[in-house]
Copies of this chain bind each other. A is one copy, B any other.
Amino acid sequence: MAEAAERSLTAHLFEIFMLILATQIMGWLFQKMKQPAVIGELLAGVIVGPALLGWVVEGSLLEFISELGAIFLLFMVGLETRLEDILKVGKEAFIVAVVGAIVPFFGGYYFGLYIIGFSQVSALFLGAALVATSVGITARVMQELDVLSRPYSRIILGAAVIDDIEGLIVLAIVSGIANTGSVETGGIIRLVIISFAFVGGAMALVPFVRRIPLDRLPFQSPLGVSIAFGLAMATLASYIGLAPIVGAFMAGMVMAELREEYELEEPIHAIESFLAPIFFAYMGVQLDLAALGSRSVLIAGGVVSLIAIVGKLFAMLGALTQGLKNAIVVGVGMVPRGEVGLIVASIGLSAGAVDEREFAIVIFMVVVTTIIAPLSLRPLVAWADPEVAASRESA
């Protein structure tokens, strides 16, 4: 027993080591090529994962550590975001989130139902998988470019929170249809109330938190309080059914009020810089390239990816108050679907509503949207926000 445990300890240590080593090297390479490090980190996972070398395999332990990485990433992003700045662009964020959910959902649903002959339920799942943005990738690119404080970044972050709530609601609806054939209105209303109460409750904490003397609470350190709070909110979000990163982001935004006074940013950034690359690399590890082998999957996947991208680009309509260029950045920033789309599709798979081929189409869409967004964001931001380009040149 103990010896087996020791062996698995060595194996897991080796996996974490490999992920850190590979993300460090590939991230460096992509930075050298003036591309986002995050894509290098994703590819690092593909390289050491089952798709190529097979040194790192999927497992619940790595999955959890990668989730911790996403939590610290969004907590850090929250720390750099003030609620008042998000509220200033609240109307824009709301429209972006709503348009960016409706267009891809119906686009995916009708394409599935009428063009490639999915069943009613499969088509609903395809639409649902296209709803929620996976904000981690975009947040990381914005962090790298040091533009988290720009209005377009704030619109994206605010919209991503609302997006996640929409995704949860849509998932509840389509799961209900798949399982019982009907929508349980009471349950959906409860979900909506709980989700908004969670986000609203976190926002309501902000005015009070400024008066809390973190160093005089019965805790070892202000950093300890912050981490405990971030994990509490991530746990609570996960318990409600929202993504843990939404809770972590809200917690970071609450703590942003105290960030400077207690020097929370550097230590949280250190933890994030250790764990977040594991999150992106693990996305790559999970990538089943073999599933993408068939030609019909590639064609359907290509069209669905297009719907996913164009659908979110429609969302830019909500951000036109910031000028066309910034609005385009917002639209592209909302494109990545990542793990959220996969979760929706895998729920459909285990409910028997989605088959292996349909699942592979969703994987294809996730890969395309996850890679295309960061690749295009960098030049787009430089074009839309010349100040950034200038400050980066001189740096």
Whether the Cβ atoms of B20 and A231 lie closer than 8 Å is yes
Contacts of A24 in B (CB 8 A): 219-221, 224-225, 228
Considering the complex, give the chain B residue whose CB is closest to the CB of A27: B220
Q: What is the CB-to-nearest-CB distance from A33 to chain B, in angstroms, rounded to a whole number?
A: 12
Q: In this assembly, does A37 line the interface, its C-beta being within 8 Å of a C-beta of chain B?
A: yes
Give the residues in chain B near A234, CB-CB below 8 Å. 13, 17
Q: Kindly report how many copies of this chain are found in the complex they form together.
A: 2
Q: Contact flags (1/0) for A204-242 with B, using CB distance below 8 Å?
A: 000000000000001111011101100110110011000
> Nearest-CB distance from A377 to chain B (Å)?
19
Q: Does residue A273 face the partner (Cβ distance < 8 Å to B)?
A: yes
B13 touches A238 (CB 8 A): yes
A290 in contact (CB, < 8 A)? no
Q: Does A6 contact B (CB under 8 A)?
A: yes
* Residues of chain B contacted by A268 (CB below 8 angstroms): 270
CB A245 to nearest CB in B, in angstroms, measures 11
Contact across chains for A5 and B63 when beta carbons are under 8 A apart: yes
A185 part of interface (Cβ distance < 8 Å): no
A269 to B274, CA, bound (A): 12
A3 is an interface residue with CB less than 8 A from chain B: yes
Residues of B within 8 A of A219 (CB): 24-25, 28
- Interface residues in A1-56 by Cβ distance below 8 A to B read 1-3, 5-6, 8-10, 12-14, 16-17, 20-21, 23-25, 27-29, 31, 37
Instruction: Judge whether A65 is part of the interface by a CB distance below 8 angstroms.
Output: yes
User: CB distance B37 to A220 under 8 Å?
Assistant: yes
A20 to B225 alpha-carbon distance, docked (Å): 9
A391: B residues at CB distance < 8 A: none
In the bound assembly, the distance between CA atoms of A52 and B316 in angstroms comes to: 54
A200 to B3, CA, bound (A): 26
Does A267 sit at the interface, judged by CB under 8 A?
yes
CA distance A14 to B225 in the complex (A): 15
Q: Which of B2, B21, B23, B64 contacts A347 (CB under 8 A)?
A: B2
Interface residues of A in 272-299 (CB under 8 A from B): 273-274
A2 & B270 in contact (Cβ 8 Å cutoff): no
Contacts of A239 in B (CB 8 A): 10, 14
Q: How far is the CA of A3 from the CA of B351 in the complex (A)?
A: 10
Q: How far is the CA of A267 from the CA of B273 in the complex (A)?
A: 9
Chain A residues at the B interface, C-beta cutoff of 8 Å:
1-3, 5-6, 8-10, 12-14, 16-17, 20-21, 23-25, 27-29, 31, 37, 60-61, 63-65, 67-68, 71, 218-221, 223-225, 227-228, 231-232, 234-235, 238-239, 244, 266-271, 273-274, 343, 346-347, 349-350
Identify 6 new A-B residue pairs, CB closer than 8 A, beyond the known A5-B63, A17-B232, A267-B267. A1-B350, A6-B238, A9-B63, A16-B68, A25-B218, A271-B274
